[in-house]
């Protein structure tokens, strides 16, 4: 269970000047306010944006290949109107179906946000009951290499147990979860517990 | 969604194959068959087995962990049956009570919380998960179990239900952590005085959110 020192809590609540905290608590205060700021702020770019930017960069660097002649020859399609409708429907399905997988939670869903402080880690992922404890399904990000890894995901409302897996091998219960449950395997290890609100 | 449904329709054996050591499969199959025979929910057991497989838990401990889960489900159904005899026990209710037992909540307290829903029931069939988690949160923060239950009952009487009860527990722990030597009893009294206007937890920022990675993806 993570317990915040009451003096830090007062500083967080604005009831105490953070400068009056002892040095060791000032560090806690700075870490908590940093994490809070991170929770409230969106990253400058999404993963998709950065991947696309890199692809565009590669395209710019590569010499433009000359297209084969058959690509430059004009081609005439003859299409019956009824097929036009079918093609339009197919295009719409391809374009719009992925939008249904957007990040807007449904009525029985909510947003789960994960933040972990793992300085020096090469990878951090979240594994839990919401993804059948399958590895590789939800990776956290640390774009600015400050050791704070984060990610958010839409999940069904309700209870989910989870763990962080650091560098692919170290299982860690989220120190900021606030709720924990014994994993039942007899070694006294605990899973973090997340309750997603609709 | 379709993928999720297809995966859920898979037999437990098919879901566990390749995800747990082969040597564990007969024991796990047997435990899941017992759950089916007793009309207990099997999903918590499948999840526990998948978790053990992912963590690389040795076979005897893995099977024991799932067996422990089966025992908790049996205990949970007995509690639900005693607390709400007029209602058929739903899988979700049994699983929620089993989760509360796993969090260390006292069985007697669970039974009191389930049976003490304020009449008339706020919304018949309201899942018991939130009130049980709120109680477990309070107990984990050092509040006496009976006082915690009394606060939650007071909150329900004031019209708070579902996940709003979790806000009651959060408010109590905040009160406890304030400087000035506030005792648990004083903290509970302050929250009780706030009811039903305890602060609402703010939702996470939605802009950076991705959709849930599919099961088994």
B70 and B20 within one domain? yes
The answer to whether B129 faces chain A, any CB pair under 8 Å, is yes
The answer to whether B164 faces chain A, any CB pair under 8 Å, is no
Q: How many domains does chain A have?
A: 2
Does any domain span residue B56? yes
B133 and B102 within one domain? no
Residues of chain B in contact with residue A163, where contact means CB-CB under 8 angstroms, are 55
B90 and B50 within one domain? yes
Does any domain span residue A120? yes
B163 and B89 within one domain? no
CB contact under 8 A, A195 and B215: no
Q: Give the nearest partner residue to B204 out of A111, A133, A163, using CB atoms.
A: A111
Residues of chain A in contact with residue B166, where contact means CB-CB under 8 angstroms, are 195, 197
pLDDT band at A99; cut points 50, 70, 90:
very low
Domain boundary among B49, B76, B107: B107
Does any domain span residue B3? no
B174: nearest CA partner in chain A: A9
B95 and B155 within one domain? no
Higher pLDDT, A126 or A198: A126
Residue A35's closest CA among A138, A154, A170, A174?
A174
B132 and B99 within one domain? no
A residues 93..132 contacting B (CB < 8 A): 101-105, 110-113, 127, 129-132
Does any domain span residue A88? no
The answer to whether B132 faces chain A, any CB pair under 8 Å, is no
B103 and B30 within one domain? yes
pLDDT band at A95; cut points 50, 70, 90:
very low
B65 and B134 within one domain? no
Q: What is the pTM of this model?
A: 0.71
Does any domain span residue B118? no
Does any domain span residue B145? yes
B142 and B195 within one domain? yes
Does any domain span residue B210? no
Beta-carbon pairs below 8 A across chains A and B:
149
A109: nearest CA partner in chain B: B212
CB contact under 8 A, A134 and B166: no
- Distance set, CA B153 to CA A160, B95, B133, B142, B165 (Å): 25, 22, 14, 18, 10
Q: Which domain holds residue A178?
A: 109-196
Q: What is the pLDDT along chain B (217 residues), one digit of tens a residue?
A: 555 555 556 799 999 999 999 999 999 999 999 999 999 999 999 999 999 999 999 999 999 999 999 999 999 999 999 998 877 778 899 999 999 999 999 999 999 999 876 544 545 567 889 999 999 999 999 999 999 999 999 999 999 988 899 999 999 988 888 877 678 889 999 999 999 999 987 765 544 556 655 554 3
Q: How far is B133 from chain A (nearest CA, A)?
A: 9
Does any domain span residue B22? yes
pLDDT band at A55; cut points 50, 70, 90:
low
- Distance set, CA B143 to CA A24, A175, B159, B173, B188 (Å): 28, 21, 22, 9, 8
Q: Give the nearest partner residue to B61 out of A3, A4, A186, using CB atoms.
A: A186
Q: How many domains does chain B have?
A: 2
Q: Which domain holds residue B178?
A: 127-199
Q: For helices B59-83 and B25-37, what crossing angle results, to 10°?
A: 10
B89 and B22 within one domain? yes
Q: Tell me the C-alpha distance between B28 and B45, whole Å.
A: 9
Does any domain span residue A70? no
Residue A21 is predicted with a pLDDT of 80
Does any domain span residue B43? yes
Does any domain span residue A138? yes
Domain boundary among B53, B72, B107: B107
CB contact under 8 A, B174 and A9: yes
CB contact under 8 A, B47 and A41: no
B138 and B82 within one domain? no
pLDDT band at A25; cut points 50, 70, 90:
confident
A190 and A113 within one domain? yes
CB contact under 8 A, B178 and A179: no
- A86, burial (CB in 10 Å: exposed 0-12, middle 13-18, buried 19+): exposed
Q: What is the DSSP letter of A1?
A: -
B35 and B91 within one domain? yes
Mutant choice from B19, B51, B169 vs A, greatest count of A C-beta within 10 A? B51
Q: How far is B25 from chain A (nearest CA, A)?
A: 16
Q: How far is A25 from chain B (nearest CA, A)?
A: 14
The answer to whether B161 faces chain A, any CB pair under 8 Å, is no
Does any domain span residue B215? no
């Amino acid at each position: 269970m993570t317990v915040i020192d009451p003096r830090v809590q007062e500083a967080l609540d604005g009831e105490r000047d953070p400068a009056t905290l002892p040095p060791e608590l000032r560090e806690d205060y700075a870490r908590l306010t940093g994490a809070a700021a991170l929770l409230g702020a969106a990253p400058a770019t999404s993963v998709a944006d950065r991947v696309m930017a890199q692809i565009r960069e590669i395209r710019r660097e590569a010499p433009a290949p000359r297209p084969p002649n058959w690509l430059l020859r004009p081609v005439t399609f003859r299409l019956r109107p009824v097929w036009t409708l079918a093609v339009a429907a197919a295009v719409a399905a391809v374009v719009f179906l992925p939008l249904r997988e957007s990040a807007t939670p449904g009525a029985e869903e909510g947003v789960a946000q994960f933040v972990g402080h793992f300085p020096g880690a090469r990878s951090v992922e979240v594994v839990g009951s919401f993804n059948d404890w399958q590895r590789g399904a939800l990776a956290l990000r640390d774009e600015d290499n400050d050791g704070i890894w984060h990610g958010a995901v839409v999940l069904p409302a309700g209870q989910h147990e989870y763990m962080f897996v650091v560098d692919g091998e170290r299982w860690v219960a989220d120190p900021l979860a606030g709720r924990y449950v014994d994993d039942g395997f007899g070694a006294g290890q605990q899973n973090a517990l997340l309750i997603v609100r609709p | 969604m379709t993928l999720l449904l297809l995966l859920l329709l898979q037999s437990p054996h098919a879901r566990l194959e390749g995800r747990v050591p082969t040597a564990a499969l007969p024991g796990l199959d047997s435990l899941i068959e017992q759950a089916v025979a007793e009309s207990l929910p099997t999903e918590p057991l499948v999840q526990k087995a998948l978790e053990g497989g992912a963590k690389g838990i040795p076979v005897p401990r893995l099977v024991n962990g799932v067996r422990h889960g089966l025992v908790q489900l049996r205990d949970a159904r007995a509690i639900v049956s005693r607390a709400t005899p007029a209602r058929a026990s739903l899988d979700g209710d049994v699983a929620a009570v089993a989760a509360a037992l796993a969090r260390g909540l006292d069985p007697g307290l669970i039974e009191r919380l389930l049976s003490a829903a304020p009449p008339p029931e706020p919304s018949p069939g309201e899942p018991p998960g939130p009130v049980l988690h709120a109680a477990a949160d309070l107990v984990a923060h050092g509040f006496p179990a009976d006082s915690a239950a009394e606060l939650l009952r007071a909150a329900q009487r004031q019209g708070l239900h579902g996940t709003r009860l979790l806000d009651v527990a959060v408010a109590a722990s905040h009160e406890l952590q304030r400087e000035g030597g506030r005792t648990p009893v004083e903290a509970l009294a302050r929250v009780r005085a706030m009811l039903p206007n305890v602060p609402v937890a703010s939702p996470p920022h939605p802009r950076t959110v991705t959709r849930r990675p599919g099961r088994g993806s």
